[in-house]
Structure 1
Amino acid sequence: MWALIFHTGLSAGRLLSIRYDDIDGGLILIRKQGHLKELRVESTPPVEAMIARRRERYPEDVFLFQSHSNRVKYQRRPVTIIAFNAALRRAARSLPDVNVSSSSARNIPD
């Protein structure tokens, strides 16, 4: 997911809400959330490849990032931002002196 944040520039919260039904060819629909307006984002080949890999691995999922936790075993819900940030912190432990967060992917210079 961090790579998708990097490639799309979208926030983690907006990416977590994406359903496979929101993806149409080269366009991704980002639904209205609270005060945030609906967006249509053009996909790029790296983004399309990541989405295809997730779809292949989890063909029954409704959400692009769907929770597979036992707590929501029989419900189709997206991963929570809390769970994503916890996983990101665990992954970043092996990177000394590097600040990794959901927003750091959007702040990498070109």
Structure 2
Amino acid sequence: MKKCFIIVSFLFLNFCAAQNQQSEIFQKIASTLKDFKVNTSPVPEDQLTHEIRKLREIKGGFNINEAILFKIGEDLSKGDLTQVDAEKLDHYFKVGQGKTDLDNAVVWIYRD
């Protein structure tokens, strides 16, 4: 019986320690996000930037650019955007400054 109590106590203490570590991790993330500033400045055209772009292209899937374009289409279909506004936003994020800023921000996040 004593062995069972010791084992249960040990497992409980490990569980509590794990919960504390998770709490510390979330606090660190929250603190980092609080001070986070989006960097859309031009990125260095070096090997690292090239590899980041290559990774994003190869990885595919649902990336931030596609998420924004999807949201524009969704807002248009719900009537929250006019056709003209949707086309302007679509152009801005597909080929305009919005695409450049978004791409730069993502590359800086990967670089950091």
Specify the TM-score bucket, using the shorter chain as the normaliser. Answer: under 0.3
What TM-score, normalized to structure 1? 0.24
Structure (1/2) with the larger helix percentage: 2
Structure (1/2) with the larger strand percentage: 1
